[in-house]
Protein backbone atom coordinates (compact mmCIF):
# COMPACT_ATOMS: atom_id res chain seq x y z
CA UNK A 1 0.00 0.00 0.00
CA UNK A 2 1.35 3.45 -0.87
CA UNK A 3 2.02 5.65 2.13
CA UNK A 4 -0.62 8.31 2.75
CA UNK A 5 -0.20 11.75 4.29
CA UNK A 6 -1.98 10.40 7.38
CA UNK A 7 0.54 7.54 7.77
CA UNK A 8 3.37 9.99 7.20
CA UNK A 9 1.98 12.28 9.89
CA UNK A 10 1.64 9.37 12.34
CA UNK A 11 5.12 8.04 11.60
CA UNK A 12 6.76 11.43 11.99
CA UNK A 13 4.71 12.00 15.14
CA UNK A 14 6.90 9.25 16.62
CA UNK A 15 9.94 11.42 16.08
CA UNK A 16 10.02 13.38 19.34
CA UNK A 17 11.15 16.98 18.92
CA UNK A 18 11.62 20.11 20.91
CA UNK A 19 9.42 23.10 20.21
CA UNK A 20 10.56 26.49 18.92
CA UNK A 21 9.03 29.83 18.08
CA UNK A 22 10.44 31.48 14.96
CA UNK A 23 10.55 35.26 15.45
CA UNK A 24 10.89 37.87 12.70
CA UNK A 25 10.88 41.67 12.98
CA UNK A 26 7.93 43.44 11.35
CA UNK A 27 7.49 47.08 10.35
CA UNK A 28 7.08 49.69 13.09
CA UNK A 29 8.60 47.58 15.84
CA UNK A 30 6.15 44.70 15.49
CA UNK A 31 7.16 41.08 15.98
CA UNK A 32 5.86 38.07 14.08
CA UNK A 33 6.20 34.70 15.83
CA UNK A 34 5.29 31.20 14.64
CA UNK A 35 5.54 27.87 16.43
CA UNK A 36 7.76 25.40 14.55
CA UNK A 37 9.26 21.99 15.21
CA UNK A 38 10.56 21.30 11.66
CA UNK A 39 13.88 22.76 12.77
CA UNK A 40 17.23 21.00 12.41
CA UNK A 41 20.88 21.82 12.85
CA UNK A 42 22.66 21.51 9.50
CA UNK A 43 26.36 22.42 9.72
CA UNK A 44 29.03 23.35 12.28
CA UNK A 45 31.37 25.09 9.81
CA UNK A 46 29.77 27.42 9.03
CA UNK A 47 27.03 27.31 11.70
CA UNK A 48 23.82 26.54 9.78
CA UNK A 49 20.29 25.67 10.86
CA UNK A 50 17.12 25.03 8.84
CA UNK A 51 13.42 25.57 9.32
CA UNK A 52 10.64 24.32 7.02
CA UNK A 53 7.78 26.75 6.43
CA UNK A 54 4.35 25.77 5.09
CA UNK A 55 3.43 27.68 1.91
CA UNK A 56 0.13 28.65 3.56
CA UNK A 57 1.88 30.34 6.51
CA UNK A 58 2.09 34.15 6.67
CA UNK A 59 5.62 33.63 7.92
CA UNK A 60 6.71 32.55 4.42
CA UNK A 61 6.50 35.98 2.73
CA UNK A 62 7.90 37.77 5.78
CA UNK A 63 10.95 35.48 5.91
CA UNK A 64 11.62 36.00 2.20
CA UNK A 65 11.36 39.75 2.79
CA UNK A 66 13.36 40.12 6.02
CA UNK A 67 15.91 37.35 5.51
CA UNK A 68 16.48 37.06 9.25
CA UNK A 69 14.85 35.01 11.98
CA UNK A 70 15.22 33.94 15.56
CA UNK A 71 14.90 30.32 16.67
CA UNK A 72 13.62 30.31 20.26
CA UNK A 73 13.79 26.91 21.96
CA UNK A 74 10.99 26.71 24.52
CA UNK A 75 10.96 25.49 28.09
CA UNK A 76 8.10 23.43 29.50
CA UNK A 77 6.84 26.61 31.17
CA UNK A 78 6.29 28.15 27.73
CA UNK A 79 3.67 25.69 26.44
CA UNK A 80 1.08 28.49 26.40
CA UNK A 81 3.39 30.50 24.13
CA UNK A 82 3.71 27.55 21.77
CA UNK A 83 -0.08 27.21 21.60
CA UNK A 84 -0.48 30.94 21.09
CA UNK A 85 2.07 31.23 18.25
CA UNK A 86 0.44 28.29 16.45
CA UNK A 87 -3.03 29.92 16.45
CA UNK A 88 -4.04 31.33 13.06
CA UNK A 89 -6.18 34.04 14.72
CA UNK A 90 -3.57 35.37 17.16
CA UNK A 91 -3.14 39.10 17.71
CA UNK A 92 -0.72 41.29 19.61
CA UNK A 93 -3.15 41.66 22.51
CA UNK A 94 -2.94 37.92 23.10
CA UNK A 95 0.83 38.15 23.36
CA UNK A 96 0.50 40.98 25.89
CA UNK A 97 -1.96 38.95 27.94
CA UNK A 98 0.51 36.07 28.05
CA UNK A 99 3.17 38.45 29.26
CA UNK A 100 5.42 37.92 26.23
CA UNK A 101 8.62 39.97 26.46
CA UNK A 102 11.17 40.38 23.69
CA UNK A 103 14.80 41.25 23.74
CA UNK A 104 16.68 42.30 20.62
CA UNK A 105 19.96 40.96 19.26
CA UNK A 106 22.73 43.19 17.91
CA UNK A 107 21.20 42.74 14.43
CA UNK A 108 17.74 43.70 15.68
CA UNK A 109 16.15 40.26 15.66
CA UNK A 110 13.47 39.97 18.37
CA UNK A 111 13.93 37.04 20.76
CA UNK A 112 11.62 35.63 23.43
CA UNK A 113 12.77 36.11 27.01
CA UNK A 114 13.25 33.09 29.31
CA UNK A 115 13.90 30.51 26.57
CA UNK A 116 16.02 27.39 26.95
CA UNK A 117 18.21 28.81 24.18
CA UNK A 118 17.91 31.06 21.16
CA UNK A 119 19.78 31.49 17.88
CA UNK A 120 19.79 34.60 15.70
CA UNK A 121 19.94 33.60 12.03
CA UNK A 122 20.54 35.25 8.65
CA UNK A 123 18.87 33.52 5.69
CA UNK A 124 21.61 32.29 3.31
CA UNK A 125 19.60 29.86 1.15
CA UNK A 126 16.05 28.74 0.43
CA UNK A 127 14.79 25.61 -1.24
CA UNK A 128 11.21 24.85 -2.22
CA UNK A 129 10.28 21.31 -1.27
CA UNK A 130 6.70 20.23 -1.97
CA UNK A 131 4.27 22.34 0.03
CA UNK A 132 7.02 23.81 2.26
CA UNK A 133 10.08 25.99 1.74
CA UNK A 134 13.29 25.18 3.58
CA UNK A 135 15.05 28.27 4.92
CA UNK A 136 18.71 27.80 5.81
CA UNK A 137 20.04 30.32 8.28
CA UNK A 138 23.59 31.17 9.24
CA UNK A 139 23.75 31.54 13.00
CA UNK A 140 25.03 35.00 14.05
CA UNK A 141 24.37 35.03 17.79
CA UNK A 142 23.49 32.41 20.41
CA UNK A 143 22.03 32.55 23.92
CA UNK A 144 21.99 29.52 26.19
CA UNK A 145 19.55 29.57 29.11
CA UNK A 146 18.32 27.12 31.72
CA UNK A 147 15.28 25.01 32.47
CA UNK A 148 13.47 21.92 31.22
CA UNK A 149 12.53 21.50 27.54
CA UNK A 150 9.04 21.49 26.04
CA UNK A 151 8.64 18.45 23.77
CA UNK A 152 6.20 17.46 21.04
CA UNK A 153 5.50 13.78 20.52
CA UNK A 154 2.54 11.87 19.07
CA UNK A 155 0.77 15.14 18.31
CA UNK A 156 0.88 16.27 21.95
CA UNK A 157 2.99 18.41 24.20
CA UNK A 158 5.17 16.39 26.56
CA UNK A 159 7.61 17.03 29.32
CA UNK A 160 11.00 15.56 30.12
CA UNK A 161 11.99 15.50 33.75
CA UNK A 162 15.55 16.61 32.99
CA UNK A 163 17.20 19.99 33.34
CA UNK A 164 19.26 21.28 30.42
CA UNK A 165 22.99 20.78 31.04
| Strands, E assignment, the chain | 17-18, 20-25, 31-36, 39-44, 47-54, 68-73, 102-104, 110-112, 117-129, 132-144, 150-153, 156-159
Stretch binding ligand FMN (CB under 6 A), from 5-13, 46-54, 101-109, 113-121: 46-54
* Contact predicate 22/31, CB 8 Å: no
Burial of 74 (0-12, 13-18, 19+ CB in 10 A): buried
Shorter beta-carbon distance to ligand FMN: residue 118 or 152: 152
User: Considering the rule CB under 6 A, would residue 133 count as an interface residue with ligand FMN?
Assistant: no
Reply yes or no: is the peptide bond before residue 23 cis, omega within 30 of 0: no
Tell me how far apart the alpha carbons of residues 12 and 6 are, in angstroms, rounded to a whole number. Answer: 10
User: Considering the rule CB under 6 A, would residue 79 count as an interface residue with ligand FMN?
Assistant: no
Interface pick for ligand FMN out of 30, 41, 43, 58 (rule CB under 6 A): 58
In the shown chain, the binding pattern of residues 90 to 119 toward ligand FMN, with x for contact by CB under 6 A and - for none, equals ------------------------------
Kindly determine how many residues on this chain lie close enough to bind ligand FMN according to the rule CB under 6 A. Answer: 15
Stretch binding ligand FMN (CB under 6 A), from 8-16, 36-44, 96-104, 107-115: 36-44
Reduced to 3 states (helix: H, G, I; strand: E, B; else coil), residue 85 is helix
Instruction: Write down the least CB distance from residue 48 to ligand FMN, Å.
Output: 17
User: Considering the rule CB under 6 A, would residue 23 count as an interface residue with ligand FMN?
Assistant: no
Tell me how far apart the alpha carbons of residues 141 and 109 are, in angstroms, rounded to a whole number. Answer: 10
Question: Residues in the site for ligand FMN, rule: CB under 6 A?
Answer: 19, 34-38, 52-54, 57-59, 86, 88, 152
Amino acid sequence: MSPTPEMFRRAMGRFATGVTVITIPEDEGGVHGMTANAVTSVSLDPLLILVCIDHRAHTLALLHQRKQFGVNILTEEQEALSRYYARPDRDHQGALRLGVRYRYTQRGTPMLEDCLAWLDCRVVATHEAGDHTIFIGQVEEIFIGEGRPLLFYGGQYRRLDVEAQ
